[in-house]
């Protein structure tokens, strides 16, 4: 029904249990202290595509996607030497409260996902509203011998108590080495132990009371507590970006399994990174692209969705402004075609093309192949326009590109770029004078402005 590549087993597997009509998916959600860039947003396209494919087979997908509004991205010194809450730091920079920051960027994230036609999750629990769940889970882990409290009020997970640690990422405990610039932490029994709860010396916006004293949760415990609460002890698929495999998902798996006594997640599925102009998208490199940047450039946000579909979810891709612009042109062309085909006599959808596209989606979300088939259908003159109309709209439930957007709209009147009218007039005169070198030069100049000129017996035309 749908096969996805399982990171833990290193092979594509069917993610739907035999006879099941419901699939449960947990997706690691955003940390809401800044706008999500298009690289961040790629991770959330994965569960959306999964839902669209399975719904066509009559399987309901229940998605839980947390909101990390406690910004401790790191729970130990190896990752964040200061341990400063990212939301508090951003609140200080913007002169707002931590709650205002979290809710503002949470809503911005939600709006971005809607613009990409990513369907809202069924559950979106917030970390700050789930502290009691985390405390309860930590207490269970201590009781079962998987965690221990330190003298400063922190609680650590005992990594050595979970023998199968490393099955997702391949990072086994016996091979892990302490960071070469990290001072040994005397609170830990083993250097790879991680904090479930971190003691705090002073009260603040992001601290809570606990049986171990004032403090705040570690990052990994948040997802374990919320996934078990909203999806139960048997979760079919856990999705997220490739960067979360270690340590986040290894730690999460250890916590959840140690709490309930069995494997909670059946399949771990990860999406690859995006490069932009050949470099990792990051604020430090100055190549962060937001969805609002795409809109400001006059491009449809769904052009980003189409550009992402040109690569399989687990392939690294290099996004550029040229690829987004090309996707925008394709999207507009398809919408125009669909609106044109809508005027033709009705005809049944083409089941051969529909079956081929569906099969590509079900084969580990092979969206590049699905798009190639859609382009083939677009060019296939043997298929009546009415049938192409029905088939495109039928398949758009999978692609999510709003291909019916132009139906009923008046035809768009093309507008020439500045200076193009004069060049067209000069070229017409050059052709009358049979000055072919000048005619060719002016054609090239028009092409550089985005104007395509075609010569006909009645004279030149342009698009």
Classify 261 in phi/psi space as left (phi over 0), alpha (psi -120 to 50) or beta: left
> Tell me, what's the pLDDT at 182?
58
**Global confidence as pTM:** 0.86
Terminal Cα distance for the chain, rounded: 44
The pair of three-digit structure tokens given for residue 1, joined into one six-digit string: 């029904």
The answer to whether 28 is a known ligand-binding residue is yes
The answer to whether 452 is a known ligand-binding residue is no
The answer to whether 55 is a known ligand-binding residue is no
> Tell me, what's the pLDDT at 183?
67
> Tell me, what's the pLDDT at 310?
97
Dump the DSSP string for 143-171. HTTSEEE-TTS-EEE-GGG-TTTTTTT--
> Tell me, what's the pLDDT at 40?
92
The answer to whether 283 is a known ligand-binding residue is yes
The answer to whether 223 is a known ligand-binding residue is yes
d(CA 363, CA 369) in angstroms, rounded, equals 10
Average pLDDT, consecutive stretches of 10 residues, N- to C-terminus, the chain (463 residues): 97 96 97 93 97 96 95 44 71 91 96 98 97 98 98 96 96 78 80 93 89 93 97 98 95 98 98 90 82 95 98 95 95 95 95 98 98 97 97 98 90 78 91 91 90 82 83
CA atoms within 13 A on the CB side of 17: 15
d(CA 359, CA 1) in angstroms, rounded, equals 9
Domains of the chain are 3-149+157-176+220-271 (3.40.50.620), 301-399 (1.20.120), 420-462 (no CATH)
């Amino acid at each position: 029904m749908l096969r996805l590549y399982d990171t833990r087993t290193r092979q594509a597997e069917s993610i739907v249990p035999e006879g099941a009509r419901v699939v449960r998916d947990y997706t690691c959600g955003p940390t809401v202290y800044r706008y999500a860039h298009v690289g961040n947003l790629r991770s959330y396209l994965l569960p959306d595509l999964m839902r669209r494919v399975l719904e066509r087979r009559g399987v309901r997908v229940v998605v839980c996607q947390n909101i990390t509004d406690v910004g401790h991205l790191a729970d130990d010194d190896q990752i964040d030497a200061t341990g400063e809450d990212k939301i508090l730091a951003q609140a200080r920079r913007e002169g707002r409260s931590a709650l205002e920051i979290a809710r503002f960027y949470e809503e911005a994230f939600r709006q971005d996902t809607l613009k990409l036609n990513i369907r809202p999750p069924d559950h979106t629990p917030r970390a700050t509203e789930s502290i009691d769940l985390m405390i309860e889970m930590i207490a269970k882990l201590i009781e079962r011998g998987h965690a221990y409290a330190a003298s400063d009020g922190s609680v650590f997970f005992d990594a050595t108590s979970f023998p199968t640690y490393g099955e997702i990422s391949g990072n086994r405990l016996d091979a892990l080495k302490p960071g070469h610039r990290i001072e040994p932490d005397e609170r830990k029994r083993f250097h790879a132990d991680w904090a479930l709860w971190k003691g705090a010396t002073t009260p603040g916006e992001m601290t809570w009371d606990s049986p171990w004293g004032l403090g705040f949760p570690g990052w990994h415990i948040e997802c374990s507590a919320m996934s078990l609460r909203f999806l139960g002890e048997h979760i079919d698929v856990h999705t997220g970006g490739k960067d979360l495999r270690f340590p986040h998902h290894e730690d999460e798996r250890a916590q959840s399994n140690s709490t309930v006594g069995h494997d909670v997640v059946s399949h771990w599925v990860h999406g690859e990174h995006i490069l932009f102009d050949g470099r990792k998208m990051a604020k430090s490199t100055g190549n962060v692209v937001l969805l609002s940047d795409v809109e400001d450039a006059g491009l449809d946000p769904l052009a980003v969705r189409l550009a992402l579909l040109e690569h399989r979810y687990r392939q690294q891709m290099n996004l550029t402004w040229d690829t987004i612009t090309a996707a925008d042109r394709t999207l507009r062309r398809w919408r125009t075609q669909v609106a044109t085909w809508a005027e033709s006599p009705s005809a049944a959808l083409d089941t051969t093309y529909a079956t081929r596209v569906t099969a590509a989606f079900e084969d580990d979300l092979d969206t590049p192949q699905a798009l190639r088939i859609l382009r083939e259908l677009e060019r296939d003159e043997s298929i009546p326009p009415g049938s192409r109309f029905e088939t495109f709209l039928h398949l758009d439930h999978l692609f999510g590109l709003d291909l019916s957007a132009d139906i009923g709209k008046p035809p768009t009147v093309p507008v020439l770029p500045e200076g193009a009218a004069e060049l067209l007039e000069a070229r017409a005169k050059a052709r009358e004078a049979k000055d072919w070198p000048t005619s060719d030069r002016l054609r090239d100049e028009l092409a550089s402005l985005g104007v395509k000129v075609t010569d006909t017996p009645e004279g030149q035309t342009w698009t």
